Chains A and B, each alone.
Chain A
Amino acid sequence: MRVLRGLILPALLLLAWEFLLAPSDDMIPPPSTLAAVMFRFYGSEEFLTSLAASVLRVAAGYALGVGLGVALGTAIGLSRNASQLLEPLTSMLRPIAPIAWTPLAIIWFGLSERATIFLIAYAVMFPILTNTIAGVQGVARAYIDAARTLGAVRWSIIREVIVPAALPAILTGLRVGLGLSWAVIVAAELIIGYTLQLGLGYILVRYSQVVFNVPRVIAVILALGALGFLTDLALRFFERRLVPWKLATQLR
């Protein structure tokens, strides 16, 4: 029942597009022809190699950003010295939108893979940093005291008490960061992709400014949405596996 209701609005929109919008505008193809073109395009080598290129860039940048964010966040969350030293620096850099680094990244790394990876790592790092700090600082004192009473040393307290307790917050940061990384890869590839000749953002530029092909543009936009949705779904799956207690306390 619920699923059926959810389909009503998208179905109405598609019908309006098919019968009202598309006939009155020759730039925009109706969904029926669009679907056929799209699926053929999804099977093409051009799409698949670009998809692979974008996914690899996101994966590399994301891994780098997660590593830095969790490590720095844990350090800042644990030590007053580290937080007083690093906090001013991160709060200076945080408000600068990741996309605003694009020109400087191009100057530093050229129109290259490294520039895109830098941009994604930078964008991903901040939400993970913020959430890790909050998570680590929010660990109940009693857990740490209990572990100490049981004879745990500093390292094992960090590894076995603090990190697991901060994990729900860290995972929230991971999800926000993942969403950002898809937005940033599009921006980066819209600008840099032209030189790299690969990537979903590059296809967008190519088929909207060089060769005109609206169905392919729409295909890529939907693919980007699906990628964002599926990778978030995967993270939520891990979240449920890693921190089952978090969802147990949430209503929905």
Chain B
Amino acid sequence: MTVHAMTDSSRIVHRRRDDTLRLLIVPVAFLVVWELVGRSMADQTILPRASVVAQALVSSMLSGEVWPHLAVSLRRVATGYGLAVLIGIPLGMLIGAYRLADHLIDPLLQVLRPIPGLALMPLLLVIVGLGDKMIVSIVVYAAVFPIIVNTAAAVRSVDRIYSDVSRTFGVGGLALLREVVLPASMPGIFVGLRTGLTFAWMSIIGAELIGTLRGIGYLITYYQKLFIVDKVVVCMVLIGVIGFALDRILRAIADRVLVWQRGIVTEAR
């Protein structure tokens, strides 16, 4: 019995090691191919080799030239995303919970939603002027729609039984929304929060490509105009890493908040 258990577990360990090896093959191969292609190219500036980018990454992190720009971008995203959450969740709940609100607001949302946030930039230029306000507005606009739509859908699909039971116990109105509907629709709301954060991070890069002298989006165009291609790629790597990290942080928060849901899912399996 114990022997069995041991061989089983060692087999699992082996398989895990095989899997991690296989998972590593491609990124390593990718880096090697990138390096070789880079070396074989006649024009070394167009595709900086992996090793050159790695050096540039280290040097720009050590020299500190990227940190202030990253900090500015993150602050703008935090402000814009925070506002989008504050607007999006209550509005989404309103639309999801009350048919009248749905009928009043939904058509307007459907008209505005397909307009890309970046397209508003020229108009915002006129209304709020150049600078942080314009960029933050674009972030709010980009992030708020997925939050509203997912919150509304989640609230709409809350099981009727929950509200019936609550009413039986004399809970209604705002208390019902806060104590029953909000927790019950949390999984759906988090889907919207994640999409919204992805859109916020994406839109900040676009918004900063024009109209500011600070931020990671500005930095990447600055390097492009000076044709410092390795640093362009460094910025892309940082944008990717931060985008990934932001999503992971939100997922970790979701896992914390939705502990009860995980219980249900594993039981169902």
Contacts and interface: CB of A to CB of B under 8 A. Distances in A.
Interface of A: 2, 5-10, 13, 27-28, 84-89, 92-93, 95-104, 106-108, 179, 182-183, 186-187, 190-191, 201, 204-205, 207-209, 214, 217-218, 220-222, 224-229, 232, 251-252
Contacts of B19: 84
Given A88-B23, A100-B220, A6 B120 contact: no
B116 A182 contact: yes
Contacts of A227: 114
A92 B209 contact: no
Contacts of B239: 95-97, 100
A7 B114 contact: no
B244 interface: yes
A108 B232 CA distance: 12
A225 B118 contact: no
Contacts of B117: 183
Contacts of A205: 122
18 contacts: A13-B108, A84-B23, A85-B22, A87-B23, A88-B23, A92-B27, A100-B235, A100-B239, A103-B220, A107-B224, A107-B232, A183-B118, A191-B221, A207-B122, A208-B122, A217-B126, A229-B110, A251-B157
Contact of B205 (A27, A89, A100, A222): A100
A131 to B, nearest CB: 13
A221 B106 contact: no
Nearest to B45: A107
Contacts of B118: 183, 186-187, 190
B68 interface: no
A6 B107 contact: yes
A221 B123 contact: yes
B3 interface: no
Interface in B18-69: 19, 22-27, 30, 46
Interface stretch (B97-105, B172-180, B186-194): B97-105
Contact of B112 (A84, A191, A225, A251): A225
A190 B121 contact: yes
Contacts of B227: 107
Interface in B109-163: 110-123, 125-127, 156-157
Given A27-B126, A107-B227, A186-B119, A9 B108 contact: yes
Contacts of B27: 88-89, 92
A103 to B, nearest CB: 3
Contact of A89 (B30, B115, B247): B30
Contact of A8 (B104, B112, B114, B244): B104
Contact of B243 (A6, A95, A217): A95
A96 B243 CA distance: 7
Contacts of B223: 103
B232 A2 contact: no
B258 interface: no
A186 B195 CA distance: 20
A221 B115 contact: yes
Residue of A2, A27, A86, A183 with highest tally of chain B CB at under 10 A: A183
A201 B122 CA distance: 10
Given A95-B239, A208-B122, A229-B110, 7 more contacts: A88-B24, A183-B206, A187-B206, A190-B209, A209-B122, A221-B115, A225-B112
Contact of B233 (A13, A104, A201): A104
Nearest to B227: A107
B229 interface: yes
Interface pairs A-B: 7 shortest CB-CB: A228-B114, A208-B122, A6-B107, A103-B224, A225-B115, A183-B116, A96-B240
Residue of A13, A92, A98 with highest tally of chain B CB at under 10 A: A92
B210 A190 contact: yes
Given A6-B104, A97-B239, A208-B126, A221 B119 contact: yes
A204 B119 contact: yes
B78 interface: no
Contacts of A99: 202, 205-206, 209
Contacts of B108: 6, 9-10, 13
B119 A96 contact: no
